[in-house]
Amino acid sequence: MRIRALAAADRAWAEPYLDEEWGGALHVRRGELVDILAPPGLVAEEAGRRLGLATFRRDGGECELAFIAAFERHRGVGTALLDEVRRAAAGCERIWVVTTNDNLDALRFYQRRGFRLAVLRPGAVDEARTLRKPTIGHVGEFGIPIRDELELRLEEA
């Protein structure tokens, strides 16, 4: 598996994937609507096949993991992408990521890699659905109502 930089030409395949699986490239976190394909990113590939995608942005002493997805699970793709994001974030005090209360797989993934729960924003997804992105679903994985944002942080210092 090789990790390479996300290129402008990658939008042609990334946008349909994000539309189908994630409701589009526009995501709401911390009350802001952001294009998760706008920041720098990484693509995991093997034999010409795309295996995963991550985007991130540095902001002063912090780095936001804006998006990460492994198209083939349990092969180390997400871990390889996260490791590369960590290298790109060298010098940042922390890496932070926002997920929703229903995303149990993400919570497990991040915590197993050293991230800690840092912030709970009760009702943040309900508010985002009302004010920013009405297409956000109401029920997520395992039939869990999607209501809250959870922010996890990995302290790098």
Q: Where are the domains of the chain?
A: 2-155
Q: Residue 113 pLDDT more than 90?
A: yes
Q: What confidence tens digit (pLDDT) does each residue in 28-57 have? A: 989 888 998 988 999 999 998 999 999 999
Q: Residue 110 pLDDT more than 50?
A: yes
User: How far apart are alpha carbons 77 and 69 in whole angstroms?
Assistant: 8
Predicted TM-score of the model (pTM): 0.91
User: How far apart are alpha carbons 71 and 81 in whole angstroms?
Assistant: 12
pLDDT of residue 31: 85
Kindly indicate the confidence band of residue 68, based on its pLDDT and cuts at 50, 70 and 90. very high
Q: What is the DSSP string of 113-143?
A: TT-EEEEEETTHHHHHHHHT-TTS-SB-GGG
Q: What is the mean pLDDT of the chain?
A: 92
pLDDT of residue 157: 44
Kindly indicate the confidence band of residue 85, based on its pLDDT and cuts at 50, 70 and 90. very high
Who wins on pLDDT, 42 or 60? Answer: 42
Q: What confidence tens digit (pLDDT) does each residue in 119-155 have? A: 999 999 999 999 888 889 999 989 999 999 999 999 9
Rounded mean pLDDT of 11-30? 88
Rounded mean pLDDT of 62-88? 94
Rounded mean pLDDT of 76-98? 94
Provide φ and ψ at 142, rounded to 5°.
Answer: 60, 20
Q: Per the CATH hierarchy, to which homologous superfamily does domain 2-155 belong?
A: Gcn5-related N-acetyltransferase (GNAT) (3.40.630.30)
Q: Residue 24 pLDDT more than 70?
A: yes
